[in-house]
């Protein structure tokens, strides 16, 4: 690895840790409908503003041993965890795509997913202020995204129908738009079926809008994988909790949490997985 790549990797990861600090603010304030930019961070217990030198990602929490400098009340380990997770997300993107546009596009997606997952976990909501602009940004940034996310059988079919020899230049826009409608539409269908079978709401419109966003960023194939992966993960966790006696059939799990994890997995491993899966066992 050459020096510039190494430098970019380290700098981008450090930036991720700082952005993680901001994501903590978003996770805490968006459900309360408070501004995420003003005022600066303060202790949730005593309200004292946090000094800049106590706001160093991860390190400050360790130095203060997870307690507020003033009131000594414990500060949730979720704060350094989200910072580390965001740092890891930035690292993974920089490692995968280097100093190229998809690194930027996919860190935007992962940052949105992190806020959505923690907000859904705590409040069982997926705020529209994140999912709707997220979907728009996903479509807008699609020309900078990993191209194969939007290509595949459909692209070839569409080009054929239009009598084109080459993929149209506008394909990423169309692919992202189709991915959004496909992801959101499929989840809407699943939610409707779930309601008909179980006779209660399991999936909300928040999940549908979250898939609109995921589909815009990842295209229809990875959106499909995300829904399958999320459902599988949700079922595994739900059954495990029931076996452990910590949940019943009626316990509501935040599906957005599982969709978020599945979307991140699909981002990094989705295409290799589909290649392997579609090649079949015989070859």
Minimum distance from residue 141 beta carbon to Zn ion (Å)? 39
Nearer to Zn ion, 70 or 268 (CB): 70
Q: For Zn ion, give the closer residue by CB, 70 or 194.
A: 70
68 binds Zn ion (CB under 5 A): yes
**Of 43 and 247, which has the nearer Cβ to Zn ion?**
43
Could you tell me which stretch among 12-20, 61-69, 129-137, 234-242 binds Zn ion (CB under 5 A)? 61-69
Token pair, residue 256, equals: 């957005």
Within 20-59, the residues that bind Zn ion by CB under 5 A are: 43, 45-46
Instruction: Rank residues 72 and 122 by Cβ distance to Zn ion and give the closer one.
Output: 72
Piece of the chain touching Zn ion by CB under 5 A; list 60-68, 127-135, 184-192, 215-223: 60-68
3-state SS track over the chain: CCHHHHHHHHHHHHHHHHHHHHHHHHHHHHHHCCCCCCCCCECCCCCCECCHHHCCCCHHHHHCCCECCCCCCECCCHHHHHHHHHHHHHHHHHHHHCCCHHHHHHHHHHHHHHHHHHHHHHHCCCCHHHHHHHHHHHHHCHHHCCHHHCCCHHHHHHHHHCCCCCCCCCHHHHHHHHHHHHHHHHHHHHHHHHHHHHCCCCCCHHHHHHHHHHHHHHHHHHHHHHHHHHHHHHHHHHHHHHHCCCCCCCCCCCHHHHHHHHHHHHHHHHHHHHHHHHHCCCC
Nearer Cβ to Zn ion (24/107): 24
Q: Shortest Cβ distance from residue 146 to Zn ion (Å)?
A: 44
CB of 40 to Zn ion, least distance (A): 14
Min separation Cβ 46 and Zn ion, Å: 3
Site for Zn ion, residues 138 to 197, rule: CB under 5 A: none
CB of 31 to Zn ion, least distance (A): 21
Q: How many Å separate Cα 193 from the centre of its chain?
A: 25
# residues contacting Zn ion (CB under 5 A) = 6
Q: Which of residues 69-128 bind Zn ion (CB under 5 A)?
A: 70-71
Indicate the residue among 68 and 271 with the shorter CB distance to Zn ion: 68
Binding site for Zn ion (CB under 5 A): 43, 45-46, 68, 70-71
């Amino acid at each position: 690895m050459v020096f510039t790549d190494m430098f970019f990797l380290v700098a981008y990861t450090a930036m991720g840790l700082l952005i993680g600090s901001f994501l903590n603010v978003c996770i805490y304030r968006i459900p309360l409908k408070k501004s995420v930019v003003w005022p600066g961070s303060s202790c949730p217990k005593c309200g004292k503003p946090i000094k800049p030198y106590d706001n160093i990602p991860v390190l400050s929490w360790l130095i203060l041993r997870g307690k507020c400098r003033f009131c000594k009340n414990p500060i949730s380990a979720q704060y350094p965890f989200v910072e580390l997770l965001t740092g890891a997300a930035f690292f993974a993107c920089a490692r995968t795509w280097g100093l190229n546009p998809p690194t930027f596009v996919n860190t935007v997606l992962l940052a949105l997913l992190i806020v959505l997952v923690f907000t859904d976990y705590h409040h069982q909501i997926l705020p529209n202020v994140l999912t709707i602009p997220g979907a728009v940004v996903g479509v807008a940034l699609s020309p900078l995204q990993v191209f194969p996310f939007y290509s595949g059988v459909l692209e070839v079919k569409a080009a054929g129908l239009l009598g084109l020899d080459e993929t149209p230049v506008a394909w990423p826009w169309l692919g992202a738009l189709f991915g959004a409608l496909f992801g959101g539409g499929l989840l809407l269908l699943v939610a409707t079926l779930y309601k008909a079978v179980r006779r209660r709401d399991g999936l909300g419109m928040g999940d549908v809008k979250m898939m609109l966003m995921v589909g815009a960023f990842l295209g229809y194939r990875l959106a499909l994988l995300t829904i399958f992966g999320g459902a599988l993960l949700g079922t595994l966790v739900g059954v495990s909790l029931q076996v452990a006696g910590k949940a019943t059939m009626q316990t509501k799990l935040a599906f957005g949490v599982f969709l978020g994890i599945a979307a991140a997995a699909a981002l990094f491993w989705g295409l290799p997985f589909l290649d392997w899966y579609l090649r079949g066992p015989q070859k």
